[in-house]
Structure 1
Amino acid sequence: MHDHCRMMRRALRWTGWAAAYLAGLVALVFAGSWVWWQQPPSARGTGTNALWARHQWVGEPHTEAEYRDLGALLKRNRITDVFFHAGPFEADGTVPPAKYRNAAKLIEAVRRHAPGVRAQAYLGQIRTVDGVGVTDLDDPAVRERVLATDKIFLDLGFAGIHYDFEPVYPDDRAYLTLLDRTRELTRARGRLLSVAVEQPTLVDAAQPVYKALIPRTGTVHYPPRPTEDFLRALADRADQVAIMTYDVSLPTRSLVGLHFAAHTERTLRLIGDRTTVFMGVPTYRPLMDWAEDLPGALRGVRRGVDALDRPPVRPYGVGIYADWTTDSADWQRYRANWLPPGSDYFGR
């Protein structure tokens, strides 16, 4: 009995030490990130930026005044690329014409009111993985119909195709095959291919561990994070890569900023010389995330640029997610925290 009590006390003591050690580590992380966050960024933003736009622009009629206001907003905020939601794909790789019945009018209006802005067709769907999902890109017939649908949107006058298939895992050869074929199509037409992907892995070697240990929940089996090799493969195929860096779920603004900074630095180092990069930033406030906001995300992106030895060879900027959650105050914050002073549109 005495030995048992002594063992219990020893176990409790070790547990207490371990808890104290863990608490100390957590405190150091919080303190370190707070100290890091106090240094203001020196890098300014750029004039190459994207915006994800709601489906109503291609699916519903609009007045000339609405188109004029859209053009003014894009010019004032130095938006060079707009991903107008034009899908999603049906299971067979098609998009019903009724969903994009006003696309041609939209494209004409963008040309009138925001010349030089590239209006891209934002297309995607839940990608079938292990029999779960909607669009099965492993089926060559489905991929052919996706390409045929892309041709329809390019014929309408869109400046590019913007894919957002989710989830896409780093062993997805069918997805890369689709990108190869789409690139042939877009380049033959003098248009763009852009892709939206999840933020990269923190540790590439963790992917097979996730795959083995994390059970399927709905359409997702394990975190669909691109590895370094997969991100390079995407960059070699796409003219633009948009990183969906948002939905951070961290408890403090400094940790959120560190997240955006780390992913910006790493992504631009990896592919900034290969393709145009947009770091996705949110204008919505997640219900379960009180620390993530647009100014903090933009500050984090700029700190990530500061950490680079040199600017990337290719253009880079941010992607605003999304137009339907961005109000006038958000746009003012964006201009103040991102656009370079002296920009043609800054402050106007």
Structure 2
Amino acid sequence: MAGFVLGLAALAPAGAWVWWQPEPRSPGTGANALWARHQWVGEAHTEDEYRALGRLLRENRMTDVFFHAGPFEPDGGVPAAKYRNARKLIEAVRRHAPGVRAQAYLGQIRKVEGHGAIDLDDAAVRERVLATDAVFLDLGFDGIHYDFEPVYPDDAAFLTLLDRTRELTRSRGRLLSVALEQGTLADAAQPVLKALLPRTGGLRYPPRPTERFLKDVADRADQVAIMTYDAALPTRSLAGWHYARHTAWTLRTIGDRTTVFMGVPTYRPAMGWAEDLDGALRGVRRGVDELDRPPARPYGVGVYADWTTDPAEWARYRANWLPGPPENDGR
């Protein structure tokens, strides 16, 4: 029996390797996002540094940049000292990368069962979050990008916050963008996993969006960025299959409802796993290959992150992704 099980386990990498060999048919796109470090809003920069940032955004056809501006305090605020150079940054982006949308990247560890930093179930906290969002929109940001973790598919308070935030951003002609974990392997398994898996810090793992919850978020947000990275798989072909599977599933589910960015990493995960930028980009393209038709809304990749991407990786990103059609530019 043990040999039979081991044999089955060996078939998965072998099958993934065979699947991985054909070149992707689908090109990349020009609707792409970048998660950017907090120093851009928190520290002073020279005009040359801003000019170099603008050149990087233009060369790599970024339509959106999520500039880390938080995190939220437990009461929903963000101290002004943390973003004292935000206005200068926004003005510089408009000078050096006109048309690129600078969004305020805000989030916090979601309090679940007494653990975590921010309690979105508290209406007063949600109101303070909205007031903080308004401050960043007043500074000139083109949108609000939320990254609350963990978010479970029964999180009604999170959806309520999205409803209210959408009212705010649309009243200003701005965007609401949301980062979410990759979807469930099987929606029916989610309750079983919650019951069986051990809890870490009081959290119920894995906090994966179901199909219904993903649609609920997409119907409230202008953009959804899927944090597809951290696949923790031992071979490049298995990691690529992971990206392809989630890309196809996500685009089939919400690609006609909202702009989608599939998150790809420019860092090497711990434990020597095989995930990397080249494999992730190839996997995303293979996922697009699986679709019967292109999504109605723009789609692309979200690069995580500017502080882990070196010039050689940017060059590979351009070579492996950017030859996509210019008409799908997300603007």
Tell me if TM exceeds 0.5.
yes
Please list, as runs of the form range in 1=range in 2, the aligned pairs for 1:39-50 lying within 5 A after superposition: 39-50=22-33
Please list, as runs of the form range in 1=range in 2, the aligned pairs for 1:98-109 lying within 5 A after superposition: 98-109=81-92
Q: Structure 1 residue 28 and structure 2 residue 28: aligned?
A: no
Tell me, yes or no, if the aligned pair for 1:75 and 1:114 is still in contact at 8 Å: yes
DSSP 3-state at the match of 1:313 = coil
Looking at structure 2, the residues matched to 248 and 278 of structure 1 have their Cα atoms a distance apart, in angstroms, of: 17
Tell me, yes or no, if the aligned pair for 2:30 and 2:325 is still in contact at 8 Å: no
Q: 2:293 is matched with which residue: 310, 315, 318?
A: 310
Superposed CA offset, 1:145-168 (max 9, x none): 000000000000000000000000
Q: 1:66 is matched with which residue: 39, 49, 60?
A: 49
Superposed CA offset, 1:102-138 (max 9, x none): 0000000000000000000000000000111100000
Please list, as runs of the form range in 1=range in 2, the aligned pairs for 1:5-16 lying within 5 A after superposition: none
Superposed CA offset, 1:10-67 (max 9, x none): xxxxxxxx11211221122111100000011011100000000000000000000000
Match of residue 319 from structure 1: 302
Q: What's the offset of the Cα at 1:219?
A: 5.3
DSSP 3-state at the match of 2:261 = strand
Looking at structure 2, the residues matched to 269 and 341 of structure 1 have their Cα atoms a distance apart, in angstroms, of: 20
Q: 2:105 is matched with which residue: 110, 122, 125?
A: 122
Tell me, yes or no, if the aligned pair for 2:28 and 2:324 is still in contact at 8 Å: no
Normalising by structure 1, what TM-score?
0.92
Q: 2:263 is matched with which residue: 274, 280, 293?
A: 280
Match of residue 195 from structure 2: 212
Match of residue 229 from structure 1: 212
Match of residue 9 from structure 1: none
Q: 1:53 is matched with which residue: 36, 41, 57?
A: 36
Q: Structure 1 residue 177 and structure 2 residue 151: aligned?
A: no
Q: What's the offset of the Cα at 1:288?
A: 1.4
Match of residue 275 from structure 2: 292
Please list, as runs of the form range in 1=range in 2, the aligned pairs for 1:71-110 lying within 5 A after superposition: 71-110=54-93
Looking at structure 2, the residues matched to 69 and 289 of structure 1 have their Cα atoms a distance apart, in angstroms, of: 32
Q: What's the offset of the Cα at 1:343?
A: 6.2
* Aligned residue identity for 1:284: Y
Q: What's the offset of the Cα at 1:215?
A: 2.7
Please list, as runs of the form range in 1=range in 2, the aligned pairs for 1:143-292 lying within 5 A after superposition: 143-218=126-201, 220-292=203-275
Tell me, yes or no, if the aligned pair for 2:113 and 2:202 is still in contact at 8 Å: no
Normalising by structure 2, what TM-score?
0.97
Tell me, yes or no, if the aligned pair for 2:35 and 2:306 is still in contact at 8 Å: yes
Tell me, yes or no, if the aligned pair for 2:27 and 2:325 is still in contact at 8 Å: no
Superposed CA offset, 1:156-187 (max 9, x none): 00000000000000000000000000000000
Larger Rg: 1
Superposed CA offset, 1:61-120 (max 9, x none): 000000000000000000000000000000000000000000000000000000000000
Tell me, yes or no, if the aligned pair for 2:113 and 2:203 is still in contact at 8 Å: no
Taking a change above 3 Å as real, the CA distance of residues 96 and 226 of structure 1, as seen in their structure-2 partners, is same
Q: What's the offset of the Cα at 1:239?
A: 0.3
* Aligned residue identity for 1:198: E
* Aligned residue identity for 1:275: T
DSSP 3-state at the match of 1:251 = coil
Q: Structure 1 residue 331 and structure 2 residue 323: aligned?
A: no
* Aligned residue identity for 1:276: T
Superposed CA offset, 1:178-207 (max 9, x none): 000000000000000000000000011111
Name the Cα RMSD after superposition.
1.1
Looking at structure 1, the residues matched to 13 and 120 of structure 2 have their Cα atoms a distance apart, in angstroms, of: 43
Give the % identical residues. 78
* Aligned residue identity for 2:232: S
User: Which one has more relative contact order, counting CA pairs under 8 Å at least 6 apart?
Assistant: 2
Structure 2 unaligned regions, length at least 5: none
Q: What's the offset of the Cα at 1:213?
A: 1.6
Superposed CA offset, 1:282-309 (max 9, x none): 0000121430000000000000000100
Q: Structure 1 residue 142 and structure 2 residue 125: aligned?
A: yes
Structure 1 stretch displaced more, 90-99 or 217-226: 217-226
Structure 1 stretch displaced more, 287-296 or 127-136: 287-296
* Aligned residue identity for 2:287: G
Aligned positions, number: 327
Structure 1 unaligned regions, length at least 5: 1-17
DSSP 3-state at the match of 1:238 = coil
Superposed CA offset, 1:311-345 (max 9, x none): 0000000000000000000100100110016869x
Q: What's the offset of the Cα at 1:221?
A: 2.0
Tell me, yes or no, if the aligned pair for 1:250 and 1:289 is still in contact at 8 Å: no
* Aligned residue identity for 1:122: Y
Tell me, yes or no, if the aligned pair for 2:182 and 2:227 is still in contact at 8 Å: yes
